[in-house]
């Protein structure tokens, strides 16, 4: 994919997220690894529904701002994921409704906040650890994610939202939507008795 194609894809996916209510205002940010080894990211304060392909931020993996508008302050934790996970080619961070609601609950399992009850979250995302609350842009977000990178494909930031990585921006976007749908099901089911997948059923899905 050329850089221009990557820019167009980011604009299109950002608009899709915004139009369908996955992102509001200037919340959330996207990034992807370009063929030249640099990162393309949404600028600080930008609305995902109004991205300009020529104004997207371009930075080095070390954080040097190359071109475009100033990158989001959260580019630091994006960089931490790329630098510590060789399979990470894109990152989607959203404050989507149900995942953000889930991130505000007490008593979540820090190792995996979504106990499997559908096959798709297991196959597409796997376990979802919880990163402790830090204010947006705090360097400790990057530090904690760097320790988890490479072992997980998705993370829940306490009182904040979700972070999902992928081998492409499209994959990261699709997996973010699967995760949001799973969180929506959790709130839809409420306190009803849930038939969770057994350990054997989960193992069979993971083996695929």
Which domains does the chain possess? 3-207 (3.40.225.10)
Among 9, 22, 74, 98, the active-site one is: 74
Question: Catalytic annotation on 120?
Answer: yes
Strand partners, 65: 59
Confidence (pLDDT) at 95: 97
Q: What pLDDT shows up at residue 208? A: 77
Which are the contacts of 85, defined by CB distance < 8 A and separation ≥ 6? 149, 150, 165
C-alpha 168/C-alpha 150 separation (Å) is 15
Q: Is 82 a catalytic residue?
A: no
Ranges in the chain, pLDDT < 70: none
End-to-end CA distance of the chain: give it in Å, rounded: 28
- CA distances to 11, 51, 166 from 57, rounded to whole Å, are 12, 11, 19
Residue 207: predicted pLDDT: 86
Nearest CA-CA partner of 40 in 204, 169, 165: 169
């Amino acid at each position: 994919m050329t850089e221009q194609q990557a820019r167009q894809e980011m604009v299109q996916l950002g608009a899709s997220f915004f139009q369908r209510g996955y992102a509001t205002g200037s919340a959330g940010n996207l990034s992807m690894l370009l063929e030249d080894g640099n990162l393309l990211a949404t600028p600080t304060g930008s609305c995902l529904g109004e991205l300009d392909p020529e104004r997207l931020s371009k930075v080095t993996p070390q954080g040097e701002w190359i071109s475009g508008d100033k990158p989001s302050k959260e580019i630091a934790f994006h960089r931490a994921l790329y630098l510590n996970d060789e399979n990470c080619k894109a990152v989607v961070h959203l404050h989507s409704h149900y995942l953000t609601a889930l991130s505000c609950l007490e008593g979540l399992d820090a190792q995996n906040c979504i106990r499997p009850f559908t096959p798709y979250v297991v196959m597409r995302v796997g376990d979802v650890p919880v990163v402790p609350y830090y204010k947006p842009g705090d360097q400790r977000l990057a530090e904690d994610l760097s320790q988890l990178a490479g072992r997980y494909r998705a993370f829940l930031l306490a009182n904040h939202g979700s972070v999902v990585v992928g081998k492409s921006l499209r994959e990261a976007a699709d997996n973010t939507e699967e995760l949001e749908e799973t969180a929506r099901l959790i709130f839809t089911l409420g306190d009803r008795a849930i038939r969770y997948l057994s350990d054997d059923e989960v193992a069979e899905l993971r083996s695929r």
